[in-house]
Structure 1
């Protein structure tokens, strides 16, 4: 396994005698008043993938006692101020010590940051010069460990039920002798065991989610190959419930709409939400349907406001669902679809179920792609891999792995897995504090930061 070495480049951006307007600083309050401006210098002391330690030297506090000392930092602003991220370090300052160390945690790997100080006494206030530093990048595949294979390699596994302490995968794409399987992963022995046969058989792009302590699955398309070799897809509306305690399936109310495969779906408490469309590439909007597990009833919600998507990804972080990436076709004038204008999107949306409202969030930083694996763990969302375009006609498999923090609305790159070759549907799940991804080609890999 290759280990890549990254050199950290540090450089200073000097802002000669310039004070940037700041909402926390009174108008006309600058370092030239009364000749008593404080002065400090910043140097980079230590860097890691997720943090930085800066060494601060207080050269002068001017003619008065220091009253404010703040560290301002940003990913995008070369001259950060108090409208950016701020750490108040005044309490760390001791007049009889010229130096102090500033720790900046929760940073993103392989990312440039700008940082400078704001100092003030009763006479004046000013900013220091900016320092720029780069956090270290993931250097190899060491965050990943291959732990298992999937024994039934003739079947495709693209979705599953992720309970708190159990995971079940559904074989879906191709019909197999003896019926399509529901299999369970055993983390104690890193083995798979067959639990049941799927009552609805094979599907293209079915839904599988957990809500109210049970698994719900169905919908998708049935693929039929005609005599002339063409492929036809027939939308399915059936809906099934799986009880992991009894290992039994029960037919539930059909969704009252025509749906397409490869849709987005998620569960929140006792309800399931399905984001789909009545057709792959026509001008009809993406519909949102809510299924209530207690009443066994479907209801139509507001349409999804983003682009019409296929092969999007989703995860639910602490009850907050997010839908992101995928592919979309652009419409020509007159409402027709141009099949040659497939676009890979990096857009991300959050759904607020209580108000039936969608909110646009920061784009996925890894660029537009499809078929990403995605899973939530410990208040964060993890996603990566999939297929992304290099040119209009050339696609590559992605090997990068990212983390999303919903509290800061930020994506950060976490690692790579160069041994991951799969570009087909894959599974992902979280068990016992670890994230797992898997496919019939690459086996099952466990991730740990």
Structure 2
């Protein structure tokens, strides 16, 4: 599929321009998708992921029958292999959050099989392959929040406790405490997408009062402040529960909509472009992560089909 796009772009003198209101969105033929060893757990959506070193950890979520899950797995890109780990010890859940700080991973919040919202949090030690409960999330129990890591702390915010939220909290693993931070600069929402570049966290898209959002914001943890950046272009399909990751100082957003477009954000000039589309099926509620110079997308849902395929993305090919 990649070669079709390359031929088309050669025909167009290596440059495709899409109308975007009064802006022009450039397209690059670069970006190569390769299918890898499929996720060895049950096909699912609404899982969590975090990375530690050169390994990715994936677990929880719901299967195609909407049954919540607790199993946990690690993926090693160097070996293209999956290994099952000790199951998450809390209630089976979906729409939780996951993040890592140093050599430990953290999973919490979400919604259980009885539609009860949760705020418990657990720490995973990969060396011991063991979990322990840590301090509950400082905000209200909720689902569909986002999480990221900066400055030696984990940040969790937005989501829904029955109402859409915009509060943010920072978890300090050394003290096992949560501290309230500046509220997200945009509207309260669920299903947003985030990534971190050079000590700034970027957050956007999602749903606010059931209306899709395309605004985009940067968070500076040292200043505890949000700055609005250029919105996702108007040509972008409505998007929630998408995947975001950063590679070599560039951010990528994909899935979570009715198309396979890969949106690329360059923070140096606050601009967007597109690259070779995602080559898996259209989906939402997938997970994504970056290791070394590649991004990865796996699991997710389309209509009633849950996925277990895994794709890697090399942005430079």
Partner of 1:325: 158
1:297 aligns with 2:130: yes
- Of residues 322, 328, 348, the one that matches 2:168 is 348
- Of residues 399, 406, 411, the one that matches 2:214 is 399
Partner of 1:234: 67
CA distance in 1: counterparts of 2:158 and 2:190, whole angstroms: 6
CA contact (8 A) 1:259 1:276 kept: no
Number of residue-to-residue matches in the alignment: 246
Going from structure 1 to structure 2, the CA distance change for 1:147 and 1:307 (only over 3 Å counts) comes to farther
Alignment RMSD (CA, Å): 2.1
CA contact (8 A) 1:305 1:358 kept: yes
CA distance in 2: counterparts of 1:146 and 1:387, whole angstroms: 26
- Of residues 194, 199, 203, the one that matches 1:379 is 199
- Of residues 262, 265, 281, the one that matches 1:444 is 262
1:415 aligns with 2:230: yes
Cα-to-partner distance string for 1:178-209 (whole Å, 9 max, x where unaligned): xxxxxxxxxxx412101111101311211121
Partner of 1:201: 42
Matches within 5 A, 1:308-323: 308-323=141-156
CA distance in 1: counterparts of 2:247 and 2:189, whole angstroms: 26
CA distance in 1: counterparts of 2:213 and 2:242, whole angstroms: 13
- Of residues 237, 241, 246, the one that matches 1:425 is 241
CA contact (8 A) 1:271 1:291 kept: yes
What is the Cα deviation at residue 147 of structure 1?
4.3
Going from structure 1 to structure 2, the CA distance change for 1:364 and 1:273 (only over 3 Å counts) comes to same
CA distance in 2: counterparts of 1:3 and 1:277, whole angstroms: 37
CA distance in 1: counterparts of 2:111 and 2:155, whole angstroms: 22
CA distance in 1: counterparts of 2:143 and 2:126, whole angstroms: 26
CA distance in 2: counterparts of 1:321 and 1:360, whole angstroms: 12
CA distance in 1: counterparts of 2:115 and 2:247, whole angstroms: 39
What is the Cα deviation at residue 216 of structure 1?
0.7
1:210 aligns with 2:51: yes
What is the Cα deviation at residue 373 of structure 1?
0.8
CA distance in 1: counterparts of 2:225 and 2:113, whole angstroms: 31
1 or 2, which has the higher strand percentage?
1
What is the Cα deviation at residue 293 of structure 1?
0.6
CA distance in 1: counterparts of 2:152 and 2:78, whole angstroms: 24
CA distance in 2: counterparts of 1:418 and 1:308, whole angstroms: 33
What is the Cα deviation at residue 276 of structure 1?
2.6
CA distance in 1: counterparts of 2:230 and 2:117, whole angstroms: 38
Going from structure 1 to structure 2, the CA distance change for 1:222 and 1:316 (only over 3 Å counts) comes to same
Partner SS, residue 201 of structure 1:
coil
Question: TM-score under structure 2 normalisation?
Answer: 0.72
What is the Cα deviation at residue 284 of structure 1?
6.8
Uncovered stretches (5+) of structure 2, i.e. residues with no partner: 1-18, 271-317
Partner SS, residue 446 of structure 1:
strand
What is the Cα deviation at residue 317 of structure 1?
1.9
- Of residues 74, 87, 90, the one that matches 1:257 is 90
Of structures 1 and 2, the larger Rg is shown by 1
CA contact (8 A) 1:374 1:384 kept: yes
Partner SS, residue 316 of structure 1:
strand
Where do 4+ consecutive residues of structure 1 move more than 6 Å?
Answer: 280-284
Uncovered stretches (5+) of structure 1, i.e. residues with no partner: 5-139, 149-188, 225-232, 330-342, 390-394
Cα-to-partner distance string for 1:401-440 (whole Å, 9 max, x where unaligned): 1111111111011101212223343111111111111126
